[in-house]
Each structure stands twice: as C-alpha cells, then as structure tokens.
C-alpha cells in the first residue's frame, strides 16, 4: 500500500488489528453529504454546494498512542485539542490529542482496518463503497467486500 507521502507502507496484521480495536472504542467516522456555503469561483458573493464530508478521527489524552497511530498509518494529522474549565472535583481537564484523516486518506485507513473492525464496520464499508463504486478492491490478495465476507464466514 502507498501512503499519501508516497512511501510504500507495510503494516503488520497485529498493528492493523490493534488500531482497529482502538478505533472501534475511541474513534469516530463522519460520512455525510450536506449543503455548504462556499465562496464563488469568480466575482463576489457565495454559492451553495452539496458537498461530501468524509473523515476519521481518534481523540485521546495519551499523546504517545495518538502519535504512534499517526506514525504507523503514515497519513492524517495530529493536533492538540485543549479543554477549558475544571472537573467537578476542581482539577483541570487533561489535554486531548486528536489524529484525523479525510477523504482518500480515510479510504486508505478503512482498507487497512476493514478485516479487523467490528463496531465501525458499516461506516468503514460505506467509505470503501463510496470510492470503489461497486468495483472490487483487493488488498493483500483479499477482496474487501462486506457482503462476500459475511457469506464466506456464514454470518448471513
């Protein structure tokens, strides 16, 4: 697999499974089409566009885990997500760190995590279907297709 930065990425099954589990518990997927107000290409004013929004993110207070996910996957960004205020016991909220990827990077991550995901599997399949448009996507000589997988595993 080739990452956005052009490097050939090899990720072990163990790393992919761990990240899929982490993502099932701590991650979120945003896949929607909605109208957005955008600047006109020519002239003044605005126009409305029916735009796709596709993103995946993991937010945690453990910076080392978030940085490790970023390093292993080779795509996305890591940002600090400061929290203002105090808990009920009077202590400050911990700093949160967020790893996030969008669009084609999200497809790349979905293909890596697909064999190991459980909770987020329907959304992951939705992103894969959006980009492949019915074509079969092959990774590590395995077909990435939820329907065929369920049939082979006698889940349907």
Q: Where are the beta strands (DSSP E) in 22-151?
A: 27-39, 46-60, 77-81, 96-102, 137-139, 142-144
Can you give the pLDDT at residue 109? Answer: 93
User: Would residue 60 be called left, alpha or beta, if left means φ above 0 and alpha means ψ between -120 and 50 degrees?
Assistant: beta
- pTM of the complete model beyond 0.85: no
Strand partners, 27: 58
**Domain 13-38+48-152, what fold?**
Endonuclease I-creI (3.10.28)
CA distance 114 to 128: 9
131 in Cβ contact with 107 (< 8 Å):
yes
The continuous run of DSSP H or E covering 83 comes out as: none
Residue 112 φ then ψ, to 5°: -65, -40
CA distance 146 to 13: 19
Q: In the chain, where are the structural domains located?
A: 13-38+48-152
Per-residue pLDDT tens digits of the chain, which is 156 residues long:
444 444 445 789 999 999 999 999 999 999 998 888 888 777 788 888 888 899 999 999 999 999 999 999 999 999 998 888 888 898 888 999 999 999 989 999 998 999 999 999 999 999 998 888 755 555 555 555 666 666 666 655
Can you give the pLDDT at residue 72? Answer: 94
63 in Cβ contact with 36 (< 8 Å):
no
User: Would residue 103 be called left, alpha or beta, if left means φ above 0 and alpha means ψ between -120 and 50 degrees?
Assistant: left
């Amino acid at each position: 697999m080739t990452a956005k930065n052009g490097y050939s990425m090899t990720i072990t099954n163990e790393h992919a499974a761990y990240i899929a589990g982490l993502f099932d518990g701590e991650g979120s997927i945003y896949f929607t089409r909605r109208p957005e107000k955008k600047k006109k290409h020519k002239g003044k004013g605005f126009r409305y566009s029916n735009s796709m929004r596709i993103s995946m993110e993991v937010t945690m207070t453990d910076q080392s885990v978030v940085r490790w996910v970023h390093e292993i996957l080779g795509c996305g960004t890591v940002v600090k997500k400061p929290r203002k205020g105090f808990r009920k016991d009077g202590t400050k909220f911990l700093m949160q760190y967020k790893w996030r990827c969008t669009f084609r990077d999200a497809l790349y991550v979905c293909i890596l995590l697909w064999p190991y995901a459980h909770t987020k599997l329907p959304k992951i399949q939705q992103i894969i279907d959006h980009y492949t448009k019915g074509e079969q996507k092959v990774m590590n000589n395995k077909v990435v297709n939820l329907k065929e997988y369920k049939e082979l595993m006698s889940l349907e």
